[in-house]
Chains A and B, each alone.
Chain A
């Protein structure tokens, strides 16, 4: 319990750090909120701008502004998007579910496929199959996600019509029920595969090296010695142990997956956080961008906490080691 509390406290301090980073960026960037608003309105008198600054508290000393900023973030008040005429928080929460769906789908493709590839490679270490798979994994890893997405649109969606070219639902989609779920799934396929591509490579390489490292381990010799079949020892004993480091990676990869989602969602017009970030970039909406980054970081922190807990359930030694 104390362990959990300490983790949570650590996570909190990181979020405060990220809030500080946001504030720092806002201070360093040329121009402030009032400049942006006035620029949009097409100009204003210096007196009116000063009045606006006073209204938003921008004329206060830096400490006061920082305290206000942190206070607002602590209440999850991420400010107002003047472009979209809406609270940043509600904009983000609206777009969160599609992104979570996309990331979950990509992970559930990447994890098993990567594991299978890595396992196959490690069993045939040094064979032509190992080399071939290595080359494939290396090459697909080098492909930019946006390029893969665009090519998928050209060759799988537009020409052949196998998949929709973008969005999350069809115009004539049924409102609910199984048909709607199938429609969303149909739209999800290409974005999820595109996002999964990078991680398939990552997991395959991780799995391969983890399995090779376990090859001479004592517990595997024991399992063999007690008469278990090669297949059983490999899939039940070795692979299961090699999965442990992959769970850790999973937590670390949520941040990079959010980054990948920005690109993939912009390619496919998937209406999630990433697409929102893209719209914010096009509209130069700083408030919204910083809000997305902050909420994204909260998401990463929560997932990491979850992974930590999950990890100590899978492998009790972790807790014991952490406490000592």
Chain B
């Protein structure tokens, strides 16, 4: 195993542990104002990472943010992959008008600044976890659609697919049994990077004040902490480090997976 693989794995395990066991280690309600306001980290042992301007426990907030980030990252990537793989498969397998149309729409989505589109969608439809997940997913599918199309095109031209077709296999079975299992591995690897992009986008939305007001997430803590940036910079610094660890973890793992699923040819 390459070192990048296990470093990435360890980082993700850390974030997942924070999400799963954080509420046990820091049992305080992240919304409860039960400390002195603006305690610095390690100033009071009861609040290891300090408190924000309302006296809320920052450690509990960051643990709650880990859960939200993972949820939003994975769900958005799933939405994005779902749309991308479906459209890419149809385009690559059936070609013709279907393909032309998809390539056009892909181009369209690659022209619109995607984060701006996500901002527009969330601002228009209201900020909730659902709209955030959908908007981040909807603006990021073109990459996976293009890759899926290219992969399906390539695999469909292989002999075993022709043979299966010659044996009279119908399209649906052909796709599910032969084409997709061979076409999708690189798409899934790239999907790992989609998770980290989604985490960054969702954090950006929350930072702009477009986070779900019902949940406490990393971008949201930074958004609120910005008011006291100069006096208490740790409020912004700590959730940012958490974002970095999560994104780094998914990126490193994704890089390794991509390298593995696309063996380099030639020298």
Which A residues are within 8 Å of any B CB, using their own CB? Answer: 10, 13-14, 17-18, 21, 25, 28-30, 138-139, 141-147, 150-151, 153-154, 158, 215-216, 252, 255-256, 258-260, 262-263, 266, 277-278, 280-282, 284, 286, 289-290, 292-293, 296-297, 300-301, 304
Contacts and interface: CB of A to CB of B under 8 A. Distances in A.
A103 to B, nearest CB: 11
A292 B251 CA distance: 31
B210 A256 contact: no
Contacts of B40: none
B237 interface: yes
B233 A154 contact: yes
B124 A150 contact: no
A274 to B, nearest CB: 9
Contact of B112 (A143, A260, A280, A293): A293
SS class of chain A's interface: helix, strand, loop or mixed?
A: helix
Interface string B54-86: 000000000000000000000000000000000
A146 B204 contact: yes
Contacts of B45: none
A282 B127 CA distance: 12
Given A143-B244, A146-B204, A281 B210 contact: yes
Contacts of B112: 18, 21, 255, 293, 296-297, 300
Contacts of B200: 144
A301 B247 CA distance: 30
The interface residues of chain B, by DSSP majority, are classed as helix
Contact of B111 (A216, A280, A297): A297
Nearest to B246: A142
Given A13-B104, A14-B104, A258-B116, 8 more contacts: A142-B244, A142-B245, A142-B248, A144-B203, A258-B113, A260-B115, A280-B123, A296-B113
Contacts, number: 139
A29 B115 contact: no
A18 B240 contact: no
A216 B207 CA distance: 47
Contact of B240 (A141, A151, A215): A151
Interface string B243-257: 111011001100000
Contacts of B240: 143-144, 147, 150-151
Interface residues of B, number: 45
Nearest to A165: B230
Contacts of A297: 111-113
A25 B116 CA distance: 13
Nearest to B218: A144
11 contacts: A13-B104, A18-B112, A138-B252, A142-B251, A144-B247, A147-B222, A147-B243, A216-B266, A255-B113, A293-B113, A296-B116
Contact of B207 (A29, A263, A277): A263
Given A158-B230, A259-B114, A293-B116, A29 B244 contact: no
A290 B123 CA distance: 11
Nearest to B108: A17
B222 A139 contact: no
Contacts of B124: 25, 29, 286, 289
B120 A290 contact: yes
A229 to B, nearest CB: 23
B267 interface: yes
Nearest to B8: A138
Among A139, A158, A281: residue with most chain B CB under 10 A: A281
Interface in B206-244: 207-210, 219, 222, 226, 229-230, 233, 236-237, 240, 243-244
Contacts of A146: 203-204, 207, 222
